A = this chain, B = another copy of it.
């Protein structure tokens, strides 16, 4: 129990830490709810795929480009989710090189459920943040700031 605890921000987390922790807590809660709804083996890292896949199926390279990652990384993601039954890969009829990544029926149900939970979670947290003394549209404000600064 020394007087001087820490050189930086002991007892007063930085803004970046708070932002990170908030996102982390929300994602953990979402993952928990999806799991409890009967969809195991889904983690936050899988979000980029579900966020970017089209109902009619999407090529690996397109998915990777949209998610801002390499196609090799996206490939690994697809493999994992294929093994777990959420997506499947079918040959692209219009291009012999390509295959289309598609949601399975289970995958589609899971995504629908996830969407509902995301909406609920965002509503809960937005309310909580407002109750904590923040007025305005948090989501919209962050989006605006990021657009101008990133």
Per assembly, the copies of the chain total: 2
A45: Cβ under 8 A from any B Cβ: no
The secondary structure that dominates the A interface is helix
A92: Cβ under 8 A from any B Cβ: no
Residues of B within 8 A of A30 (CB): 16
One of A35-43, A70-78, A132-140 contacting the partner:
A132-140
What is A's interface to B at a CB cutoff of 8 Å? Answer: 2, 4-10, 13-23, 25-27, 30, 47, 50-56, 66, 103, 108, 111, 114-115, 118, 122, 125-126, 128-129, 132-146, 148-150
A20-B23, A27-B16, A134-B138 are contacts. A4–B145 as well, Cβ < 8 Å? no
A25-B146, A132-B141, A142-B22 are contacts. A54–B15 as well, Cβ < 8 Å? no
When the two chains form their complex, are residues B134 and A141 in contact, meaning their CB atoms are under 8 A apart?
yes
Alpha-carbon distance A64/B33, docked complex (angstroms):
30
